[in-house]
């Protein structure tokens, strides 16, 4: 099991723009000083909206892109300037990139032939990988005869036979339909636990990130906003971007002087459901309600905490307090559930006392 | 650590070698293709004494350069008339080709008739009927229409070469236009024909450009028909006019001939290069989806 | 919008009926092609069975006489053989060089625009003009090619390129290759840019070097397009008479006569329209067979 680390990574794109618009100065900083390390055997998820640089980061680690500044280390060695093939990496592309002209067997054996492994090794490894992923019966088919899920498994098998130091997965689930995605996610997780290889996984889907990641790195505009376990990222967001990007519905943010007071929708409950010794109360003018799988989502404007702000409360099925649109209702949040952010910078800030217990 | 360092140095060297290779190959390719034009260009300005000396360097002026032969081409031969005729014929053929091939391609690509595919193949096969097979009888047809020795003879006949290829290219482009676009236009109140004209045509503009460029290139280089149909020099196009008017029996006006080749080739290559990317994408679609 | 409303509710007209439209839109092309390809083609067939000459254009049916005359003429068989040799060798060279050129042209380097421009020149020059330029380059006395070879010390004196049967054929093939390679390159380029970038990158990550990627990924995936390039090269070479007509006039002693040029010499310069047509007719079935074979191969490849 090997480590992967990047230091002060900067990647700017200007090549193709320079040619079309001469000297336009349209430099895109896809990566803007990224520091990140994946521990041995870790499942590290890169999460962020599209265009945040997560795929560029993955491709830079793979050696498909060359960093403008900074270093990539695999197993403690700086690999800048080395081509992908000597980096001990395996990658699964979003499209799976199976060779359409080759059978499944030839796809899987391709990397072994490239490294000129002996024929017996080629055969035994192919059989082992196919068995591990349950694609033994498909070995003589062509990729176009496979379903999306089967293709994914072939792509994983092809990655597996290389004994890589690290797996790089680029949104491997995004080409599957919703139902397949849940099963495939489960398979991916069990597969990685079985082989124990360090894995870096790129996605824009927070459910995937939360479900798969040992740790999650949240990226935005080429910078790492926060790295942490799913619990840390969800409960203790480092800034307002992470707070609102993760969670559905996102964290409510209410401005109070120079602070933003944040709380998750599921922590905003009718006042009688929050222990009264350590709570902050507020009034909610209810505007609209939605019933979603037993939960009630209450949309309304909160008053009395700071500036009047539209917020969402998520009441579990166990709370039966009658609430109707158009009425005002007393709500509260447990004090230890409040998070404070600097209103200007958006970063975490020390708590300020809020009255009205 | 040292091992990685050595590896990196090796791959850095290999990278440099690969770049040098790419540039070397590019320069070599350009030279092989364009060297004759360089010769032509230099020869066009050479004095007779220089040109007709087997020992003089064909790439350099061993005697002072002279514009006489180029001036001769432009003023003392009907070359400019040929150019004008070529442009006129080219423009008319391009227009006729588009008028016929666009609707035909749309019909074959989109209107889902059971005979669509065989008809498409049949039209493509027409392209295989060579001018060398047809010019004997087409000459008769042209004469009976009273079109001999006119530009019209070429305008009427050239689309036989260009329409089949254009239909083929355009089918590819049309298949790449999402069906939704037409359906949206029809839901928005256009007829099927209106949807084609208003919604689909603008989207196949790249294809139209590819067809225009390709058609013009084919028209400008056609030789057999032009030679068979037209024998009076004021109605000749470049491809026949230059060989017949600048070669008198055994006398070749070499420098002027070379100048004519260069003058004709440059603008067409320039145009073609401008639209090369579109042509390339068009071809993929046509070739992959036939 | 408003204009449409004023007319009232639009009714389904002819412009909405697919069955009608399909025919109506196709009809101009079909009528045109039937009139100017179909009719002349039948006329050419009719000529082949007639005694029409330029001097005596009246039509008399003579049965297979033209064909027997053609078959008895050794030049016909010679030109048939030349055509096959000329076509296959030029096609192979065109595809090989076209493929190489395409790979160069899709690579990333500075000055690409200029290189592409220069590379396109042979294809965009009217054949007659570029072939005349070659006539000078292969001249028996002043040939710049010979000048270069002399300077390199490879030859002494002159190679009489167009005067010797072997080198004459070689010259015709090379000029044809030079002229059509850019077109083949453009076609192959189309296939190359259509390969998903992922596939090449996946192969690089899988450890495949340049040659393995080329032979196992790029070439198999572009085979259909390469076949199309071969088809174009073959058709354009097979039916072309300009290069050998201008360069060698079929000589020396019919060494570079091809079916198309032989038909021209017989039908126009010799004035025997019937025999010319009979010779030219031979172009068609061979062409058809070749084209069908290649299109089938393309289809099979795509079905994979």
The CATH number for C160's domain is 1.10.3720.10
**Range from A280-284, A331-335, C235-239 carrying the lowest mean pLDDT:** C235-239
Q: Who among C196, C207, C209 is closest to A97 (CB)?
A: C196
What does the angle CA B207 – CA B213 – CA B219 come to, to the nearest 5 degrees?
130
- Ordered alpha helix ranges (H), A166-302: 178-195, 206-212, 230-235, 240-245
Please give the average per-residue pLDDT across A176-194, as a whole number.
Answer: 83
More confident residue, B124 or C120: C120
What is the model's pLDDT at position B287? 44
Q: Return the SS3 of A278.
A: helix
What does the angle CA A124 – CA A126 – CA A132 come to, to the nearest 5 degrees?
100
What is the model's pLDDT at position C2? 44
- Closest-CA distance, B2 to chain C, in angstroms, reads 22
Q: Return the SS3 of C280.
A: helix
Q: Return the SS3 of A205.
A: coil
What is the count of residue pairs from A and B with beta carbons less than 8 Å apart?
17
- Ordered alpha helix ranges (H), C34-164: 39-48, 65-72, 74-106, 112-124, 127-137, 144-151
Examine the pLDDT at B141 and tell me if it is beyond 70.
Answer: yes
What is the model's pLDDT at position C96? 93
Q: Are the Cβ atoms of C118 and B33 closer than 8 angstroms?
A: yes
Q: What is the DSSP string of B216-243?
A: HHHHHH--HHHHHH--SGGG--HHHHHH
- Closest-CA distance, C217 to chain B, in angstroms, reads 17
Q: Are the Cβ atoms of B132 and C241 closer than 8 angstroms?
A: yes
CATH 1.20.120.450 corresponds to the domain B70-289: no
The pLDDT-based confidence of A216 (bands split at 50, 70, 90) is very high
Q: For chain B, which chains pass the contact test of at least 3 CB pairs under 8 Å?
A: A, C
What is the model's pLDDT at position C80? 86
Please give the average per-residue pLDDT across B172-195, as a whole number.
Answer: 82
Contact between B230 and C105 under an 8 Å Cβ cutoff? The reply is no
Examine the pLDDT at A233 and tell me if it is beyond 90.
Answer: yes
Q: Which residues pair with A78 in a beta bridge?
A: A73
Q: Return the SS3 of A98.
A: coil
What does the angle CA B182 – CA B183 – CA B189 come to, to the nearest 5 degrees?
95
Examine the pLDDT at A357 and tell me if it is beyond 70.
Answer: no
Question: What is the phi-psi region of residue C293: left when phi exceeds 0, alpha when psi lies from -120 to 50, beta otherwise?
Answer: alpha
Q: Which residue of A has its CA nearest to C206?
A: A111
Side-chain half-sphere CA neighbours of C205 within 13 A: 35
Three-state secondary structure of A161-179: CCCCCEEEEECCCCCCCHH
Looking at the complex, does the CB of residue B7 fall below 8 Å from at least one CB of chain A?
yes
Per-state percent for chain A, helix, strand, coil, to nearest 5: 30, 35, 35
pLDDT in tens, B195-236: 888 888 888 887 888 888 888 888 988 888 888 888 888 888
Q: Which residue of A has its CA nearest to B7?
A: A82
The pLDDT-based confidence of B90 (bands split at 50, 70, 90) is very high
Q: Which residues pair with A327 in a beta bridge?
A: none
Q: Who among C107, C225, C291 is closest to B22 (CB)?
A: C107
Please give the average per-residue pLDDT across B74-80, as a whole number.
Answer: 82
The verdict on residue C149 lying in a domain is: yes
The verdict on residue C273 lying in a domain is: yes
Q: Are the Cβ atoms of B132 and C114 closer than 8 angstroms?
A: no
- Closest-CA distance, A204 to chain B, in angstroms, reads 27
Supply C304's token pair: 């994979």
Side-chain half-sphere CA neighbours of C52 within 13 A: 21
What is the model's pLDDT at position C14? 67
- Closest-CA distance, A65 to chain B, in angstroms, reads 14
Helices (H) and strands (E) in chain B, counts: 16, 2
Which residues have C-beta within 8 Å of that of residue B60, sequence separation ≥ 6? B42
Looking at the complex, does the CB of residue B18 fall below 8 Å from at least one CB of chain A?
no
Q: For chain A, which chains pass the contact test of at least 3 CB pairs under 8 Å?
A: B, C
Supply C176's token pair: 């044809």
Contact between A6 and A35 under an 8 Å Cβ cutoff? The reply is yes
Q: What residues in chain C have per-residue pLDDT under 50? A: 1-6
Q: Are the Cβ atoms of C182 and B103 closer than 8 angstroms?
A: no
pLDDT in tens, C51-107: 777 677 677 787 777 788 878 887 888 888 888 888 889 999 999 999 999 989 888
Examine the pLDDT at A96 and tell me if it is beyond 70.
Answer: yes
Examine the pLDDT at B103 and tell me if it is beyond 70.
Answer: yes
Residue A234: C-alpha distances to residues A201, A227, A237, A336, C238 (Å): 18, 11, 6, 15, 71
Residues of chain A positioned with their CB less than 8 A from the CB of B4: 77-79, 82
Q: Which residue of B has its CA nearest to A73?
A: B4
Element (H, E) at B34: helix B2-44
Measured CA to CA, the distance from residue C200 to residue C215 in angstroms comes to 12
What is the model's pLDDT at position A20? 45
Measured CA to CA, the distance from residue A244 to residue A250 in angstroms comes to 5
Please give the average per-residue pLDDT across B54-70, as a whole number.
Answer: 75
What is the count of residue pairs from B and C with beta carbons less than 8 Å apart?
296
The domain in which residue C257 lies consists of 75-303
Contact between B238 and C124 under an 8 Å Cβ cutoff? The reply is no
Residues of chain C positioned with their CB less than 8 A from the CB of B62: none
Tell me whether 0.95 is exceeded by the ipTM: no
The verdict on residue C68 lying in a domain is: no
Looking at the complex, does the CB of residue B8 fall below 8 Å from at least one CB of chain A?
yes
Domain count, chain C: 1
The verdict on residue C26 lying in a domain is: no
Measured CA to CA, the distance from residue A276 to residue A266 in angstroms comes to 17
The pLDDT-based confidence of B155 (bands split at 50, 70, 90) is very high
What is the model's pLDDT at position C6? 47
Ordered structural domains, chain A, with CATH: 4-235 (3.40.50.300), 252-342 (2.40.50.140)
Task: For the beta carbon of residue C94, count every other beta carbon within 10 angstroms.
Answer: 29
Contact between A272 and A319 under an 8 Å Cβ cutoff? The reply is no
Please give the average per-residue pLDDT across B227-253, as a whole number.
Answer: 82
Measured CA to CA, the distance from residue A287 to residue A312 in angstroms comes to 10
From B120, A102, A100, select the one nearest C295 (Cα to Cα). B120
Please give the average per-residue pLDDT across A184-190, as a whole number.
Answer: 84
Contact between C225 and B285 under an 8 Å Cβ cutoff? The reply is no
Query: Could you state, in order of their start, the residue ranges of all structural domains in chain B?
Result: 2-66, 70-289
R_g over Cα of chain A: 24
What does the angle CA A68 – CA A74 – CA A77 come to, to the nearest 5 degrees?
85
Q: Are the Cβ atoms of A110 and C206 closer than 8 angstroms?
A: yes
- The helix-helix angle for C219-238 and B276-289 (nearest 10°) equals 100
What is the model's pLDDT at position A298? 93
Task: For the beta carbon of residue A94, count every other beta carbon within 10 angstroms.
Answer: 15
Judge if the upstream peptide bond of residue B143 is cis by omega within 30 degrees of 0: no
What is the model's pLDDT at position A274? 86
Measured CA to CA, the distance from residue A151 to residue A174 in angstroms comes to 13
Measured CA to CA, the distance from residue C271 to residue B136 in angstroms comes to 11
Q: What is the value of pTM for the model shown?
A: 0.82
- For chain A, what is the mean pLDDT? 87
Measured CA to CA, the distance from residue B264 to residue B248 in angstroms comes to 21
pLDDT in tens, A36-83: 999 888 999 999 998 888 999 999 999 888 888 899 998 888 888 888
What is the model's pLDDT at position B95? 94
Mutation pick from B47, B57, B283, B289 vs chain C, by most beta carbons of C within 10 Å, is B283
């Amino acid at each position: 099991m090997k480590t992967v680390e990047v230091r002060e990574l900067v990647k700017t794109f200007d090549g193709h723009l320079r040619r079309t618009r001469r000297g336009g100065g349209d430099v895109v900083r896809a990566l803007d000083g990224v520091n990140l390390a994946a521990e041995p055997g870790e499942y590290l998820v890169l999460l962020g909206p599209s265009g945040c640089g997560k795929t560029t980061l993955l491709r830079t680690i793979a050696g498909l892109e060359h960093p403008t500044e900074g270093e990539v280390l695999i197993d403690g060695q700086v690999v800048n300037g080395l081509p992908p093939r000597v980096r001990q990496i395996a990658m699964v592309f979003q499209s799976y990139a199976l060779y359409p002209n080759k059978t499944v067997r030839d796809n899987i054996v391709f990397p072994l032939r490239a490294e000129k492994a002996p024929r017996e090794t080629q055969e035994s490894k192919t059989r082992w990988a196919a068995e591990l992923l349950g694609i033994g019966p498909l070995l003589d088919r062509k990729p176009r005869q496979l379903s999306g899920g089967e293709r994914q498994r072939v792509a994983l098998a092809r990655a597996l036979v290389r004994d890589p130091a690290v797996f790089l997965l680029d949104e491997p689930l995004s080409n599957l339909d919703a139902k397949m995605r849940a099963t495939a996610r489960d398979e991916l997780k069990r597969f990685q636990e079985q082989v124990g290889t360090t894995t870096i996984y790129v996605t824009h889907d927070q459910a995937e990130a939360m479900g798969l990641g040992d740790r999650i790195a949240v990226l935005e505009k080429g910078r790492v906003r926060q790295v942490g376990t799913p619990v840390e990222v969800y409960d203790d967001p480092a800034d307002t971007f992470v707070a609102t990007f993760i969670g559905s519905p996102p964290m409510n943010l209410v401005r109070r002087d120079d602070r933003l007071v944040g709380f998750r929708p599921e922590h905003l409950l009718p006042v009688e459901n929050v222990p009264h010794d350590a709570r902050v109360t507020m009034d909610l003018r209810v505007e609209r309600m939605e019933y979603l799988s037993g939960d009630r989502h209450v949309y309304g404007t909160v008053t009395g905490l700071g500036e009047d702000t539209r917020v969402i409360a998520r009441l579990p099925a166990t709370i039966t307090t009658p609430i109707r649109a158009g009425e005002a209702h007393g709500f509260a949040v447990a004090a230890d559930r409040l998070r404070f952010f600097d209103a200007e910078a958006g970063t975490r800030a020390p708590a300020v006392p809020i009255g009205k217990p | 650590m040292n091992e990685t360092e050595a590896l990196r140095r090796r791959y850095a060297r290999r990278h440099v070698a690969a770049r040098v290779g790419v540039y070397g190959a590019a320069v070599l390719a350009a030279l092989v293709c364009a060297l004759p034009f360089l010769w032509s260009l230099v020869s066009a300005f050479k004095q007779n004494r220089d040109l007709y000396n087997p020992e003089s360097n064909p790439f350099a002026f061993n005697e002072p350069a002279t514009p006489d032969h180029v001036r001769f081409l432009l003023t003392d031969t009907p070359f400019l008339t040929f150019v004008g005729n070529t442009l006129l014929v080219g423009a008319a053929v391009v227009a006729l080709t588009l008028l016929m091939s666009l609707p035909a391609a749309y019909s074959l690509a989109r209107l889902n008739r059971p005979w669509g595919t065989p008809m498409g193949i049949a039209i493509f096969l027409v392209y295989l009927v060579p001018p060398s097979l047809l010019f004997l009888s087409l000459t008769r047809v042209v004469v009976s229409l009273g079109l001999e020795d006119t530009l019209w003879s070429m305008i009427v006949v050239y689309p036989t070469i260009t329409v089949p290829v254009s239909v083929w290219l355009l089918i590819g482009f049309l298949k790449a236009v999402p069906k939704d676009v037409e359906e949206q236009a029809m839901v928005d109140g256009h007829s099927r024909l209106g949807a084609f004209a208003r919604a689909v045509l603008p989207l196949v503009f790249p294809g139209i450009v590819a067809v225009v460029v390709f058609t013009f290139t084919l028209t400008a280089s056609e030789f057999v028909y032009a030679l068979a149909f037209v024998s009076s020099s004021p109605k000749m196009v470049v491809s026949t006019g230059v060989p017949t008017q600048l070669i008198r029996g055994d006398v070749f006006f070499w420098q002027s001939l070379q100048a004519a080749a260069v003058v004709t080739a440059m603008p067409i290559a320039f145009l073609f290069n401008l639209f090369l990317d579109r042509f390339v994408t068009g071809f993929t679609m046509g070739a992959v989806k036939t | 919008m408003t204009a449409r409303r004023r007319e009232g509710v639009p009714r389904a007209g002819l412009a909405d009926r697919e069955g009608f439209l399909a025919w109506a839109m196709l009809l101009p092309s079909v009528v045109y092609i039937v009139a100017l390809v179909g009719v002349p083609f039948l006329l050419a067939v009719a000529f082949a069975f007639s005694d029409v000459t330029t001097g005596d254009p009246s039509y008399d049916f003579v049965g297979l006489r033209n064909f027997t005359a053609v078959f008895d003429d050794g030049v016909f068989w010679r030109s048939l053989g030349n055509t096959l040799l000329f076509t296959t060798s030029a096609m192979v060279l065109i595809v090989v060089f076209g493929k190489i050129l395409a790979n160069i042209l899709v690579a990333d380097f500075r000055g690409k625009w200029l290189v592409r421009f220069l590379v396109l020149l042979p294809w965009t020059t009217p054949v007659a003009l570029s072939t005349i330029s070659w006539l000078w380059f292969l001249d028996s006395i002043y040939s710049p090619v010979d000048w270069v070879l002399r300077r390199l010390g490879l030859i002494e004196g002159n190679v009489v390129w167009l005067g010797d049967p072997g080198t004459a054929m070689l010259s015709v093939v090379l000029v044809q290759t030079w002229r059509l390679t850019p077109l083949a390159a453009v076609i192959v380029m189309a296939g190359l840019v259509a390969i998903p970038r992922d596939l090449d990158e996946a192969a690089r990550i899988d450890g495949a070097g340049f040659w393995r990627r080329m032979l196992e990924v790029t070439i198999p995936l572009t085979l259909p397009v390469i076949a199309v390039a071969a088809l174009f090269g073959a058709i354009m070479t097979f039916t072309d008479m300009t290069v050998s007509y201008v360069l060698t006039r079929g000589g020396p002693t019919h060494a570079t006569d091809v079916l198309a040029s032989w038909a021209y010499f017989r039908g126009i310069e010799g004035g025997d329209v019937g025999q010319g047509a009979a010779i030219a007719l031979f172009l068609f079935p061979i062409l058809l067979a070749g084209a069908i074979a290649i299109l089938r191969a393309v289809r099979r490849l795509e079905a994979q």
